[in-house]
Structure 1
Amino acid sequence: MSLQDPDFVAAFSQLMRRGGRWRNYEPVELISQWSNLVSRCVAGFPGDVEDYFNDLTARSDLENAMQAQELSRFPQMAQLREVVLESDVRFREIIAPDVFPKFPLSQWWNRGVVRYAGRRLVEELREDYGVRIELMVRGSD
């Protein structure tokens, strides 16, 4: 059983494209995008608010895949859930929950926000949303 099984990749990719995703629509790519975002957030997300919210769509799309009836027949979904959960655990440790309560409770990754980040995200969250998070100070930041 592999996340790169051609039948699984085709069904997963088709679902993602129908949902509007035009890149990173294969399972391994989308999992990698989510995992990379979490790693960057743990290190102090260096991008701006648009980058941050755009990158969160990877988790939303993974959730859609995990809930999709048409993918439930694939045994690869258990492996996908396991890998996503590993990143979820790391992400939950570094977010302040319920900062954006208009999202459904089931979308905890969208409701919360990282507790610290690089200068651009810190400033834009404060200016655009009135949300205050800590500045992650790095060498020359």
Structure 2
Amino acid sequence: MTQGDRFRDEFSRLVAASGRWRDTGPEALLGRWSTFVDQCEQGYRGDAEDYFNDLTSRNSLERALAAEELQKYPQLGHLRAEVEALDERFRALLLPDVFPRIPEETWWARGVVRAGRKRLVDDLRREYGVEVAEVG
């Protein structure tokens, strides 16, 4: 078994143990975060429940990036760099501090996208009293 295989296995075990039942591998989880960021850049089409559910991929990535048992793997540094590049794109889309009771360390959940499609806009207004712009 290669070091890359050990990293993937350990990463998947850690993420699965946190309750995530799919996308437990580093590539799959990174892909989910990337897809979510892409969707938000285009105007997220789902409702608020979908949005917050999709956002959990970033929570899982953070757990893995901070896990002591994964720090020994050089693959974690590569993953961190890719996550940071996606984070930079996502931060540019956010209204920060919309949910101030959420810890600052989880900035991705503390804010919400500035704009989205009608379903998200309507849900955020109705469920949370948050106004965001509607796009196409």
Taking structure 1 as the reference length, the TM-score comes to 0.93
1:32-86 CA distance string (max 9 Å, x none): 0001000000000000111100011000110000100011111101000000011
Identify the residue that residue 11 of structure 2 maps to in structure 1: 12
Unmatched 5+ stretches in structure 1: none
Higher helix proportion, which one?
Answer: 2
Report the counterpart of residue 104 of structure 1 in structure 2: 103
The aligned residue for residue 32 of structure 2 is 33
1:5 shift after superposition: 1.9
The alpha carbon displacement at 1:120 in A equals 0.3
Aligned pairs for 1:1-141 (under 5 A) are 5-137=4-136
Report the alpha carbon displacement of residue 102 of structure 1 after superposing the two structures with TM.
1.0
Separation (CA, whole Å) in 1 of partners of 2:78 and 2:102: 27
Query: Amino acid of the residue matched to residue 53 of structure 1?
Result: F
Q: Deviations over 1:5-37 (max 9, x none)?
A: 211110000001110010000000000000100
Q: Distance in 1 between matches of 2:90 and 2:130?
A: 18
Q: Tell me the distance in 2 between the aligned counterparts of 1:100 and 1:121.
A: 16
Gaps of 5+ in 2: none
Q: Distance in 1 between matches of 2:52 and 2:100?
A: 15
Distance 1:89 1:35 in 2: 12
Q: CA RMSD in A?
A: 1.2
CA distance in 1, matches of 2:110, 2:100: 6
Kindly tell me the number of residue pairs found equivalent between the two proteins: 135
**C-alpha distance in structure 2 between counterparts of 1:94 and 1:128, whole Å:** 20
